[in-house]
Structure 1
Amino acid sequence: MPDVSAADLVLTGGRVHTVDARDRLAEAVAVRGGRIARVGTADEVAPLIGPGTRVVPLDGGSVLPGINDSHLHGVWLGAMWPNLLMDQLAASGGHAHEAPARLETAEDRRRAILRTADLLASLGITSYTEPGLGPGEDGGPSGCFGSGALRDYAELAAQGRLKARVTALMLFGELDGRSTAADLLAGLRDFTPPAGVPGRFRVAGVKIFADGIPPMRSAWTDRPYTDGSHGALLVDGGSDGEREAALRAMIDAAHDAGHQIGVHATGDRATRVVADACAAALGRDGRDARHYVIHGDLLAPATLTVLASNRIGLNTQAGIPVATEPMLAAALGEDALRDAWPLRDALDAGVPLCLSSDSPVLTPDWRAGMAAAVTRRGLDGAVRGAAQRLALAEALRAYTAVPAWQDGEEDVKGSIEPGKAADLCVLGGDLFAVEPQALPSVPVAMTVLDGEVVYEA
């Protein structure tokens, strides 16, 4: 029987990009009780308009699923904004950067989180992953990454003050620094994260730092740097073999404890070992754990095959290659560019691909990230890695449907389909009607979370 009860909100007269399995387009969408009630033509949705329905004429604008930034440091972003790390590095010639004042108290952290909440709502972002908060950073210099931030998120979520769904990963080592298998095992045993708040906050798993980054010659590589070195893992150990064994033990322990694992890995040797270790852990029990590699600057074709065949995701930032490719080439030589940020190759291999900002490293504006993925063009106008370009629809899916998969919530969000959460990004134009480089100019008109308008221009 047709559903004839009135909707709370109807958006009509535009282009609704559902990002469903067939990338279907519609003209209108109706929301009732925080869920998508109907998607279709304007005439098909019109019967759900009642006396109390708010009707928003799109006037040629468009509707997307709520954007999911699947790797964004929310506390750090709130402390830094509008200063972005990549901008500061570029301005300083790749050297020093301005650090924010240390967040000393819970109130400091909460102000930063709420500042980020307002900023992300204005960008149409309805979900994000906070990738690494925990006791490993309780004495950290910024105060942005300690275990107290997990409690702050949980309390703000319980108070209804978050404007996005937040997924967090625990951190038992230093941010971008050393870690030990012993510390991770102790953390898994002794640390109890705060309980989740349904629909708003949950702790999904563990973040592990495998290595550094190629431009700093701290990524662990098979090919030598121009100075003859190969970098090393950040995990403690007296040799490469001991460090690799410790990293594998950490992945095994986190997997066996039932956690999702996100591993920062950038060098081709580090990404290969991480992929093999995650595949081995998954092979023991067949659990659908949704583990993923973070950044993945250098990925050999064989590593992509391992990722794809084991449904291990890749979470990367399209803005980083267009900004740092010359630095990578200077560190490792031009030949390294063959395996550098292979987004097209990863997608073609069947790797679950998420695009994210790593903000405040890059801007949290996903439109800029999509433009970088589609054009591979930097701010200087140079195109870098043109063969790895994505189609616009693929980039959009990597900011919506695939991050929902990473979160284990593809049945709840990530596409505009009846029964799913009404998380929507409403634009004042259509991304598919402008030149790719102009994507950031398409304005965000409204953001809807669980059917509630959390931002309106």
Structure 2
Amino acid sequence: MGHDSRAGLPAGSPAGSPAADVVLTGGRVHTVDARDRVAEAVAVCGGRIARVGTSAEVGALAGPRTRVVRLEGRSVLPGINDSHLHGVWLGAMWPRLLMDGLTGGGPPQPDAPPEPPPAVRLETAEDRRRAILRTGKLLSELGITSYTEPGLGPGEDGGATGCFGSAALRDYADLAAKGELNARVTALMLFGELDGASSEAAFLKGLRSFVPPRDVPGRFRVAGVKIFADGIPPMRTAWTDRPYTGGGGHGSLLVDGASDGEREAALRAMIGAAHAAGHQVAVHATGDRTTRVTVDAFADARGRDGRDGRHYLIHGDLLSPATLAAMAASGTGLNTQAGIAVATAPMLAGALGEAALADAWPTRDALAAGVRLCLSSDAPVLTPDWRAGVAAAVTRRGLDGSVRGAAQTLSLVQALRAYTIDPARQDGAESWKGSLEPGKAADLCVLDGDLLDVAPDDLPSVPVVLTMVGGRVVHERSAGSVREH
């Protein structure tokens, strides 16, 4: 993305079009289109992008009732899509985060496992809805206009927190129908325990008998299912090819079974059944053996009917070059968190040895291989602030100043796409959101600065001054943050 890449943008609206509702002009409009072009101005009409181009081109759509926002060099971005964020849980915990101890102080210790999550318990629908709305307000302030709630369903109906049961799906649908959600939400069903065991029998029963709430078009959709295949390397619960240090074995899958072979067969059957039922399948997979087997199962499922289910790996801590190639060939996406890579690399090395870091969180290699990459927060594991996620992806620098995995750093453009248009594709919605192009939904945010001139480490300190969802302002930092006439 260059400073002179704004020329040649489509006008988008023919002569005689109605006056725009809002015109934002005199800034840097990062379209995140196929050519990553940067414009000066954008017009919004009827909840959609009406025109993108120079200030003169877009200003022609301003009428007597148009709100004209003078950006004065500020950056306009597509609305951020956090493609893996536990909205109910975040609303119940905020401002606490699970990894506060690892990301808010000194360097993490190699042999120190993550602390258990703080106790949270939501008892009623009112509690859950209050948490969802609290999350919505927080995300609006951060410029986040879409997110994926990754795992709500009957597998957690008796869960300890009350944050992940099937009732939360109905809460989301009801709030969406009433127009009370500030962000567009995609949800995944969960037929096993959160971070715990699942069984093929319970999974197949869930597929047959559980009826999720109806979609609320453009606001809430149940897209598919989530499966927890294994744990995480620092806890020595990921299923790995490498043995854990100190004779700690190789871990195993979380799926029920008497042997590795039985557990693998059950995981493959679950993935195949969900695909055959028309669902998107997202699998929490971290160990190199788990990621390899899961990608192979995705390829088998797609090979049966040719359908691109937009299936993806969640986290993907350890991915060999061969697995990355298989992901690209099968259309398997990767949804990962750069902040986790930065914070936990020493713990992974402590559990599996320094050599394991060669295949750890290979974001740049994934893109080079042709894998669809989405970056996300996993909040409340990490902060939902995407600016911190972008900074971590671009620098791979921890708060202690050390850089971990420098060979896997992304460019700013790559990181921005992984928070906007690529998550839209994960949602199956890239035709109508995820970039600032005429005809797409007017989901956008305004940064109080020029994104191209901000050092990545300083990005988290640049305020979001305006957030818009479908042309509706859901956050505005303060009167006078952006000038109008």
TM-score class, shorter: over 0.9
1:179 to 175, 182, 198: 198
Structure 2 equivalent of residue 329 of structure 1: 349
Matches of 1:192 and 1:103, distance apart in 2: 23
Matched, 1:276 2:296: yes
2:277 to 257, 262, 287: 257
Structure 2 equivalent of residue 374 of structure 1: 394
- Superposition deviation, residue 310 in structure 1: 1.3
Greater Cα offset, 223-232 or 207-216: 223-232
- Superposition deviation, residue 195 in structure 1: 0.3
Matched, 1:248 2:268: yes
Structure 2 equivalent of residue 66 of structure 1: 79
- Superposition deviation, residue 88 in structure 1: 3.8
- Superposition deviation, residue 5 in structure 1: 1.4
Matches of 1:338 and 1:202, distance apart in 2: 37
Instruction: Note if contact 2:229-2:253 (Cα within 8 Å) is conserved in structure 1.
Output: yes
Structure 2 equivalent of residue 188 of structure 1: 207
Kindly provide the amino acid, as one letter, of the partner of residue 198 in structure 2: S
Structure 1 equivalent of residue 409 of structure 2: 389
Instruction: Note if contact 1:208-1:262 (Cα within 8 Å) is conserved in structure 2.
Output: yes
Matches of 2:118 and 2:206, distance apart in 1: 28
Matches of 1:112 and 1:168, distance apart in 2: 16
Pairing 1:357-436 to 2, within 5 Å after superposition: 357-436=377-456
**What do residues 250-291 of structure 1 show as CA deviations (whole Å, max 9, x unaligned)?**
000100000000000000000000000001101111112100
Alignment gaps of 5+ in structure 1:
none
Matches of 1:89 and 1:371, distance apart in 2: 17
- Paired residues, what number? 457
- Superposition deviation, residue 227 in structure 1: 2.6
Matches of 2:418 and 2:353, distance apart in 1: 30
Instruction: Note if contact 2:198-2:228 (Cα within 8 Å) is conserved in structure 1.
Output: yes
**What do residues 120-146 of structure 1 show as CA deviations (whole Å, max 9, x unaligned)?**
000000000000000000000000000
Matched, 1:54 2:100: no
Structure 1 equivalent of residue 5 of structure 2: none
- Superposition deviation, residue 95 in structure 1: 5.0
- Superposition deviation, residue 89 in structure 1: 5.5
- Superposition deviation, residue 99 in structure 1: 2.0
Matches of 2:16 and 2:333, distance apart in 1: 38
Matches of 2:432 and 2:448, distance apart in 1: 25
CA-atom RMSD, angstroms? 1.1
Matches of 2:329 and 2:131, distance apart in 1: 40
Matches of 1:14 and 1:131, distance apart in 2: 35
Structure 1 equivalent of residue 27 of structure 2: 14
Kindly provide the amino acid, as one letter, of the partner of residue 136 in structure 1: G
Kindly provide the amino acid, as one letter, of the partner of residue 152 in structure 1: D
Pairing 1:66-105 to 2, within 5 Å after superposition: 66-88=79-101, 94=113, 96-105=115-124
Matches of 1:453 and 1:426, distance apart in 2: 11
Matches of 2:307 and 2:86, distance apart in 1: 28
Greater Cα offset, 126-135 or 436-445: 436-445
Matches of 1:165 and 1:89, distance apart in 2: 30
Matched, 1:445 2:465: yes
Greater Cα offset, 100-109 or 37-46: 100-109
Q: Secondary structure at the match of 2:319?
A: coil
Kindly provide the amino acid, as one letter, of the partner of residue 67 in structure 2: R
Kindly provide the amino acid, as one letter, of the partner of residue 277 in structure 1: A
Pairing 1:160-239 to 2, within 5 Å after superposition: 160-228=179-247, 229-239=249-259
Matches of 1:152 and 1:453, distance apart in 2: 23
Matches of 1:238 and 1:388, distance apart in 2: 38
Instruction: Note if contact 1:430-1:442 (Cα within 8 Å) is conserved in structure 2.
Output: no
Structure 2 equivalent of residue 129 of structure 1: 148
Kindly provide the amino acid, as one letter, of the partner of residue 180 in structure 2: R
**What do residues 15-69 of structure 1 show as CA deviations (whole Å, max 9, x unaligned)?**
0000000001100000000000000000001111011111111011010000000
- Superposition deviation, residue 442 in structure 1: 1.4
Kindly provide the amino acid, as one letter, of the partner of residue 376 in structure 2: S
Alignment gaps of 5+ in structure 2:
1-13, 478-485
Q: Which runs of 4+ in 1 moved over 6 A?
A: none
Instruction: Note if contact 1:88-1:98 (Cα within 8 Å) is conserved in structure 2.
Output: no
Q: Secondary structure at the match of 2:99?
A: helix
Instruction: Note if contact 2:113-2:235 (Cα within 8 Å) is conserved in structure 1.
Output: no
Matches of 2:250 and 2:271, distance apart in 1: 22
Matched, 1:43 2:56: yes
**What do residues 175-200 of structure 1 show as CA deviations (whole Å, max 9, x unaligned)?**
00000010110001110000010110
**What do residues 131-162 of structure 1 show as CA deviations (whole Å, max 9, x unaligned)?**
00000000000000000000000000001000
Structure 2 equivalent of residue 310 of structure 1: 330
Matches of 1:295 and 1:314, distance apart in 2: 7
**What do residues 214-271 of structure 1 show as CA deviations (whole Å, max 9, x unaligned)?**
0000000001000331000000000000000000000001000000000000000000
Matches of 1:100 and 1:315, distance apart in 2: 27
Structure 1 equivalent of residue 127 of structure 2: 108
Return the TM-score normalized by structure 1.
0.99
**What do residues 50-102 of structure 1 show as CA deviations (whole Å, max 9, x unaligned)?**
11111111011010000000000000000010001011466795453452431
Matches of 1:328 and 1:146, distance apart in 2: 31
**What do residues 367-393 of structure 1 show as CA deviations (whole Å, max 9, x unaligned)?**
000000000000110000000000000
Q: Secondary structure at the match of 1:85?
A: coil
Matches of 1:273 and 1:101, distance apart in 2: 34
Instruction: Note if contact 1:17-1:416 (Cα within 8 Å) is conserved in structure 2.
Output: yes
- Superposition deviation, residue 316 in structure 1: 0.1
Kindly provide the amino acid, as one letter, of the partner of residue 165 in structure 1: R
